[in-house]
Chain A
Amino acid sequence: MSAYEEAVLEMKNIDSLLDQGYNIVYVHENLSGMFVELKKEEERKSVQLLTADARKYLSIKLSEKAG
C-alpha cells in the first residue's frame, strides 16, 4: 500500500468517527505518531495516526472545530 493510501485510510477513519458524533478531546504526539482520544457521551475511542498527511488532516479538523 502506498503512503497516500495509508493516509487515506487513516483520514477516513477519523471522518467516520466524527460523523458518528465523536469529539476529539485529547491529542498527543510522540515518536510513534499521533494519538487521538475521542469521546461520545461516555464512550471513548483511541486512534493512532501513523502518516504525516493524516496528522496534517487532523490538525485541520481541530482548526475547523475551533472555528
Chain B
Amino acid sequence: MADLRVKLAGIESPNPFWLASAPPTNTGYQVQRAFEAGWGGAVWKTLGDPILNVSSRFAAVNFNGQRVAGFNNIELITDRPLEVNLKEIYETKKRFPNHIIIASLMVEPRQEKWHEIVKRVEDVGVDGLELNFGCPHGMAERGMGAASGQVPELVEKQTFWVKEVAKTPVIVKLTPNITDITVTAEAAVAGGADAISMINTINSLAGVDLDSWNTVPNVAGKGAHGGYCGPAVKPIALNMVAECARSPHINVPISGIGGISNWRDAAEFMLMGSSCVQICTAAMHHGFGIVEDMIDGLSNYLDEKGLASAMDLVGRSVQRYSDWGDLDLNYKVVAQINNDVCINCNKCHIACEDTSHQCIDLYTESGRPMLKVREDDCVGCNLCSIVCPVDGAITMVEKKGLSPMTWNERQALMGQYAPTTILK
C-alpha cells in the first residue's frame, strides 16, 4: 500500500487532503470531526480583526441537473474573537498532534499588525501560516484580501514582514482575480514565502432572480459580488497551479485549491505540481466523509501506477505543459465513428456541420443510416467526440502527418526568408 504522507515546505501531513480555510474550518468542533473522518490537515478559517457577516451568504449554480456545479459566497473571515479561535486551535492540536493545522491570517497591510498576529498564532502551536491575499469580497473593500493580493509589491512586502517573525513555514494564498498569477507568485517568493497556495475564489455573481429581479444571493434586496468556487472553477485553478509549477522563477512548493471534488481531481493537481490539495466546496456539499473515498481512491491509484509514495506523483505532468508556440503544428488526429455503437442521434454531424469543419457525412447503407468522417478534411478538433453521448462511438486516432515542427521553429525558419518582414 502506497505511503500517502506528503511534505509541503517541511510540513509533514498524514495525507494530501486538507480542508481549505472556509466555513468547514470555522471551529475546533468542526476541525476535530474532520480529523476523525480522516482529513490530513485543516487551514483554519481566516483569523483577523473582528468582522460582521450578513445573511444570506451562499448561492449555488446548478447545471443540467448537477447541483452545486459552482458555489458562490459573500461570507467574510471569522467573526469570532481571536482568543476563542486560538484556544480551540490549541485544544485541537493537542488532541491531534500528527494532523496539520495551518492558521490563515488576514490583517491590514501594516508591519506591526502582521507581527502581532503571527506571534500570537504561533504561540498556540500551529504547523504553519497561510496569508490570505485572495478573499475577493468585503475584506478587499477594506484594503485586505484580494486588494492586497492584486498588487505584487504588497504581496512581497507583507510576506517579508511575516517572515521577519515567523518560526513556522509561510504559505501565501493567491487570488485568481489577476491577469497573470505567476507575477504575484513571484512576488511571494521574493518576499520569502516557503510555499504558495492557489486559487482563492473568483469574483462572481451567481445569478439574477427573473421574478424579483434581485441578485442571487441578496441581502434585503441588494447584492454584492462574491467568490466563486466548486467544480466549475477546477480548470482555471489547475492552469494557474501548472503555470506556477512550470515557472523557473517560482521554486517553492504548491498547495492546490479550486474545485477539487474527488481523488481524481486531487491526483490531477498533484501531477501538475501540488504537494497537497485543499478542499472546501465538496465537503460543504457532501460532508467530511468524502475524504474516505479520496484516501482509498488515491491509494489504489498509486498502487496501480506502481508508485510507493504520494510524493512520487507530485509534478510528474509539469514538463508536459508548455507554451502554444512549442506544440507540434503537424501532429494530426482524426475522428473515427464506430457505427456498430453509434445510436444515430446525429449530434456529431450537427456539431461538425454547424460549428466546425463539415467533415461528417450522413449516408444510408442497406437501409440503415450511417455516419462517416472524411478524414482528409477532419482537423482533429475533438468536437464530435465531445458532444457524442455514447462512450466508444467516436474515437480520435493519430494519423501520420508531416515532420514535426512547432510554430516557434517555423517562425525562426520563415525569418530567414523574409528578414525584414514582421511575421507575427
* Residue among A2, A27, A29, A60 making CB contact with B403, cutoff 8 Å: A60
* Residue among B330, B376, B416, B421 making CB contact with A56, cutoff 8 Å: B330
Residue from A4, A29, A57, A59 with most neighbouring chain B CB atoms (10 Å): A59
Q: Is the interface of B mostly helix, strand, loop or mixed?
A: loop
Inter-chain CA distance A55–B127, complex, in Å, is 58
Of all chain B residues, which has the CB nearest A55?
B410
Interface string of B395-424 (1 = CB under 8 A from A): 000000011010001100110111001010
Of all chain B residues, which has the CB nearest A7?
B376
* Residue among A3, A28, A59, A60 making CB contact with B418, cutoff 8 Å: A28
Inter-chain CA distance A29–B424, complex, in Å, is 9
On whether the beta carbons of B405 and A2 are closer than 8 Å, the reply is: no
On whether the beta carbons of A60 and B405 are closer than 8 Å, the reply is: yes
A25 at the interface (CB under 8 A from B): yes
B357 at the interface (CB under 8 A from A): yes
On whether the beta carbons of A59 and B377 are closer than 8 Å, the reply is: no
On whether the beta carbons of A27 and B377 are closer than 8 Å, the reply is: no
Report A-chain residues with C-beta under 8 Å of the C-beta of B405: 56, 59-60, 63
A9 at the interface (CB under 8 A from B): no
Report B-chain residues with C-beta under 8 Å of the C-beta of A47: none
Query: How many residues on the B side are at the interface (Cβ–Cβ under 8 A)?
Result: 19
Inter-chain CA distance A41–B418, complex, in Å, is 20
On whether the beta carbons of A60 and B402 are closer than 8 Å, the reply is: yes
Inter-chain CA distance A59–B330, complex, in Å, is 10
Report A-chain residues with C-beta under 8 Å of the C-beta of B409: 63
* Residue among A3, A25, A57 making CB contact with B417, cutoff 8 Å: A25
Inter-chain CA distance A46–B175, complex, in Å, is 53
On whether the beta carbons of A60 and B417 are closer than 8 Å, the reply is: no
Inter-chain CA distance A2–B410, complex, in Å, is 26
Interface string of A45-64 (1 = CB under 8 A from B): 00000000000110110110
On whether the beta carbons of B414 and A29 are closer than 8 Å, the reply is: yes
Report B-chain residues with C-beta under 8 Å of the C-beta of A29: 414, 418, 421, 423
Inter-chain CA distance A42–B421, complex, in Å, is 24
Minimum CB–CB distance from B368 to chain A (whole Å) comes to 26
Interface residues of A in 14-67 (CB under 8 A from B): 24-29, 56-57, 59-60, 62-63, 66
Inter-chain CA distance A58–B376, complex, in Å, is 18
Report A-chain residues with C-beta under 8 Å of the C-beta of B410: 59
Residue from B374, B414, B416 with most neighbouring chain A CB atoms (10 Å): B414
On whether the beta carbons of B377 and A28 are closer than 8 Å, the reply is: no
Inter-chain CA distance A4–B416, complex, in Å, is 28
Minimum CB–CB distance from B286 to chain A (whole Å) comes to 47
